Structure 1
């Protein structure tokens, strides 16, 4: 999918709906979350979108999606997670993530695709007080949607026509993340380079 073409095709309502589905429903794992925000920022820098309207659409989509996920998790959490066929390892990773970071996981979670979709459900399932969740999800949505989009807008306003190279930017980001994960695994002892046999 060409993310920039997708954003231009669906418009403001479409980017709102995309973020809403990704954060509110467990079917949103494969939607273009971070790449959507980057594309929106770059297109706004190229004067192909109105920045303020796009930021509002992204923010509202994230806040409303998070709260939908929370209330669904609170009402029918375990059964819904099972019926949605969420991978057991994804759920376990989310639980470990939340156990490690506590309430901060709601602020960090939006930056991680799987956690972005599962954390609100998990918060609802474990009956986290709604007001605490709402405040943290409000701040998390603000940091994610506005922060990432504005960074892309700033870079795009300094480098003309950067919106044409969204995939190269994302590929570089993925490559960096893979290298970082491999380095961390190597440092922690979970990865070992094959040893050379003596001649």
Structure 2
């Protein structure tokens, strides 16, 4: 747990005397799941990756990270879905620059609703727009809810695992680095993974 033990924030005066200290381990352990839930209500890939890193460091439990992130994703997408059902295509007109994407997505919802509901979480540009479009398409709530739950669990498991594996592979290399530098490296790695995955999904979406 050498990496976890280094998660401290300290403030010193000019003489070098410590005047303030925060144990980041305790903060993450106490509020981590709530932060994950709130952060995953919208686009939560980065915070989910960091949750996986925290699970690898022993600050959070892996299954609870997955559940917290999945729950946040379920709640967020349900709210967006009902917004789509309530306001329909009037709301979608605000996304005018995505008109061609919306047309293609609408056709996919009609043909394979299960594929779009689950896959929209992983599609570039549809993380927030997707549930609104699904609601506007009048897909029944009884169909959307179980697919939303399944998609959220799959999404949470994949991104939490990526964060966890990142900690497994790179954590030992960071053990002796300054903890501020470590935080920046973790953040940079998380961003790179998210961007790479979104690029790949966008390319697949264009091919389809």
Instruction: With the length of structure 2 as denominator, give the TM-score of the two structures.
Output: 0.65
Note if 1:38 corresponds to 2:60.
no
Task: Give the equivalent residue in structure 1 for 2:179.
Answer: none
For residue 176 of structure 1, report the CA deviation from its aligned partner.
Answer: 7.9
Contact 1:69 1:120 in 2 (8 A): yes
When residues 137 and 171 of structure 1 are mapped into structure 2, their CA distance, relative to the original with a 3 A threshold, is closer
Note if 1:87 corresponds to 2:95.
yes
Note if 1:14 corresponds to 2:25.
no
1:65 and 1:128 map into 2 onto residues whose CA distance is 17
Q: Once structures 1 and 2 are overlaid, which stretch shifts more, 138-147 or 110-119?
A: 110-119
> How well do the aligned residues superpose, as a CA RMSD in angstroms?
3.4
**Structure with the higher fraction of residues in helix conformation:** 1
For residue 59 of structure 1, report the CA deviation from its aligned partner.
Answer: 0.9
For residue 167 of structure 1, report the CA deviation from its aligned partner.
Answer: 3.2
Aligned pairs, number:
168
2:75 and 2:197 map into 1 onto residues whose CA distance is 31
1:113 and 1:107 map into 2 onto residues whose CA distance is 13
CA deviations 1:72-103 (Å, max 9, x no partner) are 11112233344xxx431235314423534732
Q: State how 1:117-156 maps to structure 2 within 5 Å.
A: 117-156=128-167
Instruction: With the length of structure 1 as denominator, give the TM-score of the two structures.
Output: 0.68
For residue 71 of structure 1, report the CA deviation from its aligned partner.
Answer: 1.2
Contact 2:123 2:201 in 1 (8 A): no
Contact 1:41 1:152 in 2 (8 A): yes
Which 5+ residue runs of structure 2 have no aligned equivalent?
1-6, 8-23, 175-181
For residue 108 of structure 1, report the CA deviation from its aligned partner.
Answer: 1.4
**Structure with the higher fraction of residues in strand conformation:** 2
Note if 1:67 corresponds to 2:75.
no
When residues 176 and 135 of structure 1 are mapped into structure 2, their CA distance, relative to the original with a 3 A threshold, is closer
When residues 91 and 18 of structure 1 are mapped into structure 2, their CA distance, relative to the original with a 3 A threshold, is farther
